[in-house]
Amino acid sequence: MSTSVRLVVFIALAALAVWWFALRAEPETTGAALVDIVVPDLPQSIRQGESLFNANCASCHGANAAGRDGLAPPLVHKFYEPNHHGDAAFQLAVQNGVRAHHWQFGNMPPVENITPDEVAQVTAYIRVLQRANGIQ
């Protein structure tokens, strides 16, 4: 083998090793719930909000807003109590997306095809879950 071929092989192997270690360093993403949620009996008026949440938010925020490992935080969490993230914060998050600031999950993209009235229903549903879990 000529020196230059050897050099190319060496660089390729080194790059492969760096790539492999970088991949291995990725945190594991399981999608598992991040907090234990007490699920209350939902009043009829909240059921629509629950369906809208399941259709638009649960893929990231998880069933019962318990969060998903590696994807998105629980919304049943002290950070999101009404005094810290009022209902307007929910509207803004859905409309504009969220730049990651509390967590390491990355940004939340804006959610398309959901009206402000529907977001209000989702928020009311989350508030019921929050209260059932001592967050108010």
Round to whole Å and give the CA distance between 40 and 56: 21
94 lies in the binding site for ligand HEC (CB under 6 A): yes
* Contact between residue 53 and residue 114 where contact means Cβ atoms under 8 Å apart: no
Least gap, CB of 47 to ligand HEC (angstroms): 16
Least gap, CB of 7 to ligand HEC (angstroms): 43
Least gap, CB of 83 to ligand HEC (angstroms): 13
61 lies in the binding site for ligand HEC (CB under 6 A): yes
User: Total number of residues binding ligand HEC (CB under 6 A)?
Assistant: 26
Round to whole Å and give the CA distance between 103 and 77: 12
68 lies in the binding site for ligand HEC (CB under 6 A): no
Round to whole Å and give the CA distance between 135 and 128: 9
* Contact between residue 123 and residue 90 where contact means Cβ atoms under 8 Å apart: yes
Round to whole Å and give the CA distance between 87 and 76: 14
Which residues from 9-48 bind ligand HEC, rule CB under 6 A? none
Looking at the Cβ atoms of 16 and 96, the one nearer to ligand HEC is 96
* Contact between residue 67 and residue 37 where contact means Cβ atoms under 8 Å apart: no
122 lies in the binding site for ligand HEC (CB under 6 A): yes
Question: Which chain residues interact with ligand HEC by CB under 6 A?
Answer: 56-57, 59-61, 72-73, 75, 80, 85, 89-90, 93-94, 98, 100-103, 105-106, 108-109, 111, 114, 122
